[in-house]
Structure 1
Amino acid sequence: MALDYKKVKEAAKGYEQDMTKFLREIVQNPGESCDEKLHIERIAQEMRSLNFDKVEIDPMGNVLGYMGNGKTLIAFDAHIDTVGIGNKENWKFDPYKGFESETEIGGRGTSDQCGGIVSAVYGAKIMKDLGLLSDKYTVLVTGTVQEEDCDGLCWQYIINEDHVHPEFVVSTEPTDGGIYRGQRGRMEIRVDVQGVSCHGSAPERGDNAIYKMADILQDVRALNENDASSDTEIKGLVKMLDKNYNEAYEEANFLGRGTVTCSQIFYTSPSRCAVADSCSVSLDRRMTAGETWRSCLDEIRGLPHVKKYGDDVKVSMYEYSRPSYTGLVYPIECYFPTWVLPRNHKVTKALEKAYKDLFGETRIGAIETVEERKRRPLVDKWTFSTNGVSIMGRNGIPVIGFGPGAEAQAHAPNEKTWKQDLVTCAALYATLPSVYTEE
């Protein structure tokens, strides 16, 4: 059956008001990680009202809506939790009441990333409306939880416990009108240093853990800031962009170099009049292609002052074990792997074809966004992390990204999205499965 792209676009435009209403009703309730119940219930209600063939809420609290009964399972994922609002004085409008103009929708979660679930739900509805569903594919739309706390945990559960294995997944995280095929990974590292306390009036009697940590942090800073020349003792992370250090240097250059920074610091001391007897820090480590959790831990363990202080230093990875809103605990290491879908992959080609047949060769968007978007390549990557770290990074299931909204709106005050993006994404989602399975 030949796709009628004009009808698809007309159908998506016809649902603009319904999508706007649906999005505003989701984000009127706070939905921070581990408190997403009202978001999930509203999404499940919409799926059922639109006659999805099956709607389930799994034990973790993820909502899974199925449309069709064909051979190939194609999933569209949206995490529906949000971060908090931060300092409310930075908001020009109520983050939960939000606002609506002729072209925009404001509120916490509109770009990051409840708009994605709205477009995916209505994309599936359009497939049904226009008779695009066939025996070739089944569509799965997932509204997933706890992503802001622990990227990909939800999909570890979906894959390993719900036993759901799509052929590929479209991440509906915001992409500013572009097609995204990868992202840097990240991990959360902890460094613990031991010392010996003594009275502050005679610090030479003790062993100050904070001073030892200060030395180590200078090495960490050098790791992030140094170059990779032969005479540099601590070679900087930029080395991974060089083929002499990294076999995956081409994809590393596409994604960008890794980074590391100290994000938290803790200490213990008997009092303010004593030498600190322990000091710990959290390191936020962003990883490019070719880097693994083992290589990143070994890199910290190999720093000069870490080796100098020997057994007094412990380098480890954090674990996440916070209960979901249903009370379920599903522990996992705080490691979120890098992933990149090849430019010539069948999924990449199918999404590019569907996009170009619908919209042409460049990014599109609302009047406010379109000129800046057109200056960027159509196929690009995220700067932040997504559920792709689990879907593709841990489990090897291909992921491609296309979603409403803007990365710059994520976690920012006065968050908003654009009605045009909801329409654009719903149309693309409706056509992609047919394009992918037409061969």
Structure 2
Amino acid sequence: MSNLDFDKIKQAAEGYGEDMNKFLRDIIKTYGESCGEKERVHRIKEEMEAVGFDEAWFDDQGNVMGYMGTGEKIIALDAHIDTVGIGEIENWDFDPVEGYENDIEIGGRGGSDQLGGIVSAVYGAKIMKDLGLLSDKYKVLVVGSVQEEDCDGNCWLYIIEQDKIEPEFVVSTEPTDGGIYRGHRGRMEIRVDVRGVSCHGSAPERGDNAIYKMADILKEVEQLNENDAEEGTEIKGLVKMLDKKYNPDHYEDANFLGRGTVTVSQIFYSSPSRCAVADGCSISLDRRMTAGETWESCIQEIADLPSAKKHGAKVSMYNYNRPSWTGLAYEQECYFPTWIIPEDHPVTKALAFSHKNLYGDNRIGPDAEMEKRSARPLIDKWTFSTNGVAIMGRHGIPTIGFGPGAEDQAHAPNEITWKQDLVTCAAVYAALPTVYVEGLAE
């Protein structure tokens, strides 16, 4: 017989509301962009120790981790603890590092994306211990992962491949607007290079202008994003992957996740001077990938563009090797696979069961957010990318999403999160492992 009392879990989470609010304010103030999270890592470790974690440490890459319990299976709660920069300070109505707090919300860079996640995860684990929910069947691993904004999933590649930690499943605590998210599109970072021949700008006909060559390619990249996939369309749009004809094995998942996209994010040139024909031009492409697309297929579709062939374009993928705050660099290709967990997977069902017994079958949240939240199903998907690209995308470890805050607050000025979400998520996290290991949702 299960010892799971959902009312007690809710009461415990509500009782820790003020502690969670204070913790979130503290870690917002310990400012930490990617590769600069040192102070924040130490503050999180301190909180883990204070609330009674059985073990707390940070690894050689700088990810902060803590175990609650000593059971056999590892169930992990992941929250990346780095943030993007402030951006244009004139766009902020308050100090993004000092932040603010009122009765309903907490403001500051990282509030939704996604420092609230580590707060709810730490206190969700504490509730498990307080209520005697831990058993010899599982232990909970809470991870404050680094460098996600720089290279999503790189932290978990290191945790799985070098720390040799492989959980039974992982909950991503990225913001989900009160929903349960079971996947998202993948992405990759592509570079296209073309070469020309320089000459004096007074006689451009003597040279071969690389920028003009790239201009041809740029228009065709745009067509990939904008065109339809009809028979007479020469450059068929990426929307084709939603069609069974072009994507027979994955079109249903593609329609759930949404079509792939491509956009030019950067452009570079080389030229002897401002009075010369450019002899080199390069672009970066942000490619979002739906189900059925691979890094090989995405590289090939750029290489196959008529102008890319005509101008001898070189198409390649970027690599990432920036050192973490500890000085360790863990190199990988800038490829972040699409992933999706089935709606009837035991992990999905366990999280939905936990939510149903605590809060019902629909999204909940602060009044100001409910018009947006109530229009969406409880089980859905992210628009952006998460560490799930490595956990499930590369390593096949089941991953599910449920986290405080809102996607549209990510990377935006005047970023906020909601106190109610912190409590809701802590309660669901506390119930989930017992529901899963005891098979209560089956």
Bin the TM-score by the shorter chain.
over 0.9
**TM superposition shift of 1:29:** 2.0
1 CA distance for matches of 2:410 and 2:266?
22
Q: Report the 3-state secondary structure (helix = DSSP H, G, I; strand = E; otherwise coil) of the residue aligned with 2:75.
A: strand
Cross-structure match for 1:263? 265
Shift of 1:2: 3.1
Match status 1:272 vs 2:268? no
TM-score by length of 2: 0.98
How many angstroms apart in 1 are the aligned matches of 2:40 and 2:116? 12
Residues of 1 paired with 2:434 and 2:363: CA distance? 22
State the Cα deviation string for residues 297-347 of structure 1 (Å, max 9, x = none): 00101100111122xx21000001100000001111000000000111110
Listed as ranges, the matches of 1:61-140 within 5 Å are 61-140=62-141
Question: Runs of 5+ in structure 2 lacking a partner?
Answer: none
Matches within 5 A, 1:124-273: 124-246=125-247, 247-273=249-275
Map of 1:9-28 to 2, 5 A cutoff? 9-28=10-29
Q: Which residue of 1 aligns with 2:427?
A: 427
Equivalent position amino acid for 2:365 in 1? G
Whichever residue aligns with residue 74 of structure 1, its letter is I
Aligned counterparts, 1:344-359, within 5 A? 344-359=344-359
**Matched position secondary structure for 2:381:** strand
- Is the CA contact (8 Å cut-off) linking 2:157 and 2:390 kept in structure 1? yes
| Distance in 2, Cα, partners of 1:17 & 1:404 | 16
Per-residue deviation, 1:126: 0.1
Q: Distance in 1 between matches of 2:354 and 2:396?
A: 23
Q: Return the offset for 1:70.
A: 1.1
Deviation at 1:370, TM superposition (A): 1.9
- Secondary structure in 1 matching 2:414: coil
The alignment yields a C-alpha RMSD, in angstroms, of 0.6
Q: Conserved in 1, the CA contact under 8 Å of 2:3 and 2:133?
A: no
Distance in 1 of aligned mates of 2:256 and 2:40: 35
Q: Distance in 2 between matches of 1:318 and 1:265?
A: 14
* Aligned amino acid, residue 281 of structure 2: C
Does the 8 Å CA contact 2:190/2:318 hold for their aligned counterparts?
yes
Question: Which SS does the other structure have where 1:134 is aligned?
Answer: coil
Q: Could you tell me which runs of 5 or more consecutive residues in structure 1 were left unpaired when the two chains were aligned.
A: none
CA distance in 2, matches of 1:371, 1:424: 18
Structure 2 letter corresponding to 1:269: S
- 1:43 shift after superposition: 0.3
Q: What secondary structure sits across from 1:349 in the alignment?
A: helix
Deviation at 1:170, TM superposition (A): 0.1
Q: 1:272 offset after TM fit, Å?
A: 1.0
What CA distance in whole angstroms lies between the structure 1 residues aligned with 2:362 and 2:372? Answer: 11
Hey, what does 2:327 align to over in structure 1?
327
Of the candidates 299, 303, 306, which is equivalent to residue 304 of structure 1? Answer: 306
The aligned residue for residue 51 of structure 1 is: 52
Is 1:365 aligned with 2:393? no
CA shift at 1:372, angstroms?
2.0
Partner AA of 1:75 in structure 2: A
Instruction: Note the C-alpha offset of 1:371.
Output: 2.8
Give the ranges of 4+ consecutive aligned residues of structure 1 lying more than 3 Å apart after TM superposition: none
CA deviations over 1:336-385 (Å, ceiling 9, x no partner): 00000011111001111111011111100011112321111000000000
- The count of aligned residue pairs is 437
